[in-house]
């Protein structure tokens, strides 16, 4: 599963480096992983052969819906709280 990707830094075609499990505990500073569960998370890594920039993509769908424990409404993982009853999701 590889895609054609241009380096945002220098425009060179990026190469698929591989799949890697990341420990999210080490990546809390990244906005992109906010709201994800703890534990290893599979990522696809692309690298620029020219400037060595790395790009990371989730190997799993990002918009996995959460189910509200109170009203059972489904809403995207990226939401801070349930859009229906405003219950905050406890991790
Ligand atoms: Zn580059
Ligand atoms: Zn709810």
Among the listed residues 67, 3, 80, 68, the one whose alpha carbon sits nearest the alpha carbon of residue 35: 80
Does the pLDDT at position 12 exceed 90?
A: yes
Ligand 2 center from residue 36 Cα (angstroms): 18
Of all ligands present, the nearest one to the C-alpha of 8 is 1
34-69 residue pLDDT tens: 555 556 778 899 999 999 999 988 887 665 678 888
Q: How confident is the model at residue 30 (pLDDT cuts 50, 70, 90)?
A: low
Does the pLDDT at position 1 exceed 60?
A: no
Q: What is the mean pLDDT of residues 18-33?
A: 66
Ligand 1 center from residue 10 Cα (angstroms): 4
The residues facing 43 across adjacent strands are 20, 58
Ligand 2 center from residue 62 Cα (angstroms): 20
Q: How confident is the model at residue 2 (pLDDT cuts 50, 70, 90)?
A: low
In whole numbers, what is the pLDDT of the chain averaged over residues? 79
Q: Contact, 46 vs 5, CB < 8 A?
A: yes
Ligand 2 center from residue 35 Cα (angstroms): 16
Residue ranges covered by each domain of the chain: 1-60, 62-91
């Amino acid at each position: 599963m590889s895609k054609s990707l241009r380096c945002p830094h220098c425009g060179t075609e990026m190469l698929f480096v591989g799949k890697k499990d990341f420990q999210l505990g080490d990546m809390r500073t990244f906005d992109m992983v906010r709201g994800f569960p703890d534990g290893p998370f599979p990522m696809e890594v692309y690298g620029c052969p020219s400037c060595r920039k790395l790009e990371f993509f989730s190997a799993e769908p990002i918009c996995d819906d959460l189910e509200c424990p109170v009203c059972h409404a489904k809403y995207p993982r990226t939401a801070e709280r349930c859009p229906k009853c405003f219950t905050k999701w406890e991790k």
